Amino acid sequence: MSAKRPLDATVVLVVEDDELVRMSAVALLEDAGLAVTEACDADEAWRILERRTDIGVLFTDIDMPGSMCGKTLAEHVHASWPEIRLVLTSGRHRLADAEVPDHGLFVSKPYRSRDVLEAIAQAR
């Protein structure tokens, strides 16, 4: 397995179709000192990942419109960029961490800031 990028040298890609939730997640991460970029669905996220080499964390909702859900996106990201940490979230689904690809973690909605930040730091 490739080594994960250190959090202080990486960008978090937030993938969320609900604009208000996405804005809140971006603000939460930026307030914690992390660099962030965002996408409204998995297709946009994939295009960002193909263009950028500084993405180190994928923080994605599971349920989204488009060609793939967040879990499928995470599986494809793991296959293509195994150094990217994976954190999935949902208000509808509950996943065990073992169900998240590549030792990623799951945080249920509504989430607390500290839970998201801990998951990002602990995802391997």
Instruction: Give me the helices (H) in 52-106, please.
Output: 70-80
Q: Where are the domains of the chain?
A: 7-122
> What is the signed CA dihedral for 94, 99, 102, 105, rounded to 10 degrees?
30
Tell me the pLDDT of the chain averaged across its residues.
92
Q: Name the pTM for this structure.
A: 0.91
Cα 47 to Cα 89: distance, rounded to the nearest angstrom: 21
Architecture of the domain defined by 7-122: 3-Layer(aba) Sandwich (3.40)
**Cβ of 86: how many Cβ atoms within 10 Å?**
28
Q: Cβ distance 55 to 81 under 8 Å?
A: yes
pLDDT value of residue 96:
83
Supply 114's token pair: 């500290």
Residue with tokens 């995802």: 123
Cα 31 to Cα 20: distance, rounded to the nearest angstrom: 16
Q: What is the pLDDT of residues 10-49, one digit of tens each?
A: 899 999 999 999 999 999 999 999 999 999 999 999 999 9
Q: What is the pLDDT of residues 93-102, one digit of tens each?
A: 888 878 888 8
